[in-house]
Amino acid sequence: MEDMTLSENVFDRARDFGGRGFHAGLSTLGDFQKFILRGNVVDLAVGVVIGAAFNTVVQAFVKDIISPLVPGTNGLFSAVIHLPYGPGLLVGDLLNSILSFLIIAAVVYFFVVKPINALEASYGRLKPKQPEAPTTRECPFCLSNVPLKATRCAYCTAQLPPADAPSAQVR
């Protein structure tokens, strides 16, 4: 009878350990799911995919439309500098890549960076500004502005009360 209780106890412990391990694994997967479904990770993934597709469109635009418009022998962008020991330098492909990069950079700047900067500027105008601490105070005798820490007025040379204390009454 004791063997039966001991074996049941061992199985109960193993079952508890397995259950905790299983639940710990599920909570880790839940944390991973929260991380993946967080907005900025999903936005980044969408941005990378759209950027790759946009790059393909711009490459085709430059190679098929812009390059043939440039005058020269067979088009300047298809130029090859022949070398005596190899296939040659593909200057046209380099110029195509540079032009594609400039087009992509311009599109990103004008359609992403500028609108975000404008949005942040308008948000900054809506946010209330913290009031600045005063740096001057009025002299209670001549009503001119003097520095906050001044002990005498520079204009009427009157003795001023400390900045913490309320202003003295004019008699």
pLDDT value, residue 170: 42
pLDDT tens per residue across span 90-138 = 777 777 778 888 888 888 888 888 888 888 888 777 777 777 888 889 8
Output the average pLDDT for the chain. Answer: 74
The CATH number linked to 76 is 1.10.1200.120
pLDDT value, residue 84: 81
Range of the domain at 142: 136-171
2 belongs to a structural domain: no
pLDDT tens per residue across span 67-82 = 777 654 455 556 677 7
130 belongs to a structural domain: no
146 plus 79 within the same structural domain: no
Q: Which residue has the tokens 């299983």?
A: 22
61 belongs to a structural domain: yes
5 belongs to a structural domain: no
52 belongs to a structural domain: yes
60 plus 120 within the same structural domain: yes
pLDDT tens per residue across span 25-39 = 556 677 777 776 666
150 plus 120 within the same structural domain: no
